Amino acid sequence: MTAILQEIQTRLVQLVGETVQLLPALLIAFIILVLTKWAAKNVQQVVHRGGRRLLRSRSLQSLLSQTSYVASWVVGVLAAAVIAFPNLGLGDLVAFLGLGSVAIGFAFQDIFKNFLAGILLLLQEPFELHDQIIVGDYEGTVEEVAIRSTQIRTYRGERVVIPNSMVFTSPVEVLTAFAFRRTDLAIGVDYNTPLPMAVQVLKEALDGIEGVMDEPDVEVDVVGFGDSSIDLLVRYWTVPQRAEVRRVQTRVMMALKAACDRANISIPYPIRTVYHYDQREFNELFSRSESQN
């Protein structure tokens, strides 16, 4: 029993001694990590300024800036590990990274998936910063494409953070990809309305409307026979931003209504015919037929 206690005491003394010997190295490693945090931010700022001068693409500027930040941390952590554990050689680091990458890959596969998707989005640039996009159930303005997620600001002033893997694998509708955007506005006219006259009136109603482009031309098509009206579709072009599309649509609807009123064109509302009958008479008739049988 005494021998066991002596062995435990010896091991504890050795452990304390080794810890005391490692304290300076651990302190230096901690200082290196603190300096790495400061250096990574400064490197990121310098690279960002250089990228703005050399690159036109904002996405590539963001990719270069974020990559420099991650690379600075990798260098700092490796340097701190070498200082803290002097016996740790380059071969040991390579082996550790090789074995650890497998375990880390399984544990953090979603993180790496978003990371790779973010890099591909920044390189391919399916959309740019400040573009208005629709991803799934979310619609808004792109504020940032980071390594892990894409942030959009909705039209109600809310921020939505979407994982890059979802953005990369989902259909993305870029509303501001082109200089112009078409709006299709449905309107119905009475069946007694002469269609050529109605088409001409609706086209002329959009002349001079603020926000409606002169080119391409306004189009008015007859698209179907409805239950209560003949259905027409007014097609016009505006700038692609959502707020301007909404404002122009309001002005167009007011102009169409005013033009129809001036031309005595009726915009009918749905009509339903309801038949009423006396249930008692039906019951009496049914009873007589049953009695005859």
Predicted pLDDT of residue 61: 67
Predicted pLDDT of residue 219: 94
Mark whether 48 and 145 lie in a shared domain: no
- Mean pLDDT (the chain, rounded): 79
Could you give phi then psi for residue 214, rounded to 5 degrees? -75, -30
End-to-end CA distance of the chain: 112
What would the pLDDT profile of 125-182 be if each residue is shown by its tens digit?
888 888 999 998 899 999 988 878 899 999 999 999 999 889 998 999 999 999 999 9
Residue 139 in domain = yes
Inter-helix orientation angle 58-84/2-54, to 10°: 150
Token digits for 196? 């050529």
**H/E/C letters for each residue in 54-75?**
HCCCHHHHHHHHHHHHHHHHHH
What would the pLDDT profile of 90-103 be if each residue is shown by its tens digit?
555 555 555 555 54
What would the pLDDT profile of 190-220 be if each residue is shown by its tens digit?
988 999 999 999 999 999 899 999 888 999 9
Mark whether 95 and 128 lie in a shared domain: no
Predicted pLDDT of residue 153: 94
Predicted pLDDT of residue 197: 94
Mark whether 165 and 83 lie in a shared domain: no
What would the pLDDT profile of 38-52 be if each residue is shown by its tens digit?
877 877 777 777 777
DSSP secondary structure code for residue 270 in this structure = P
Check which CATH number belongs to the domain holding 143 and give it. 2.30.30.60
**H or E element that contains 3:** helix 2-54
The torsion defined by the Cα of 254, 255, 258 and 263, in degrees rounded to 10, comes to -150
Residue 273 in domain = no
Who wins on pLDDT, 140 or 25?
A: 140
Residue 271 in domain = no
Structural domain count, the chain: 3
Work out the percent of the chain whose per-residue pLDDT is above 90.
35
Does the pTM of the predicted model rise above 0.85?
no
Domain that holds residue 161: 122-174
Mark whether 23 and 88 lie in a shared domain: yes
Residue 95 in domain = yes
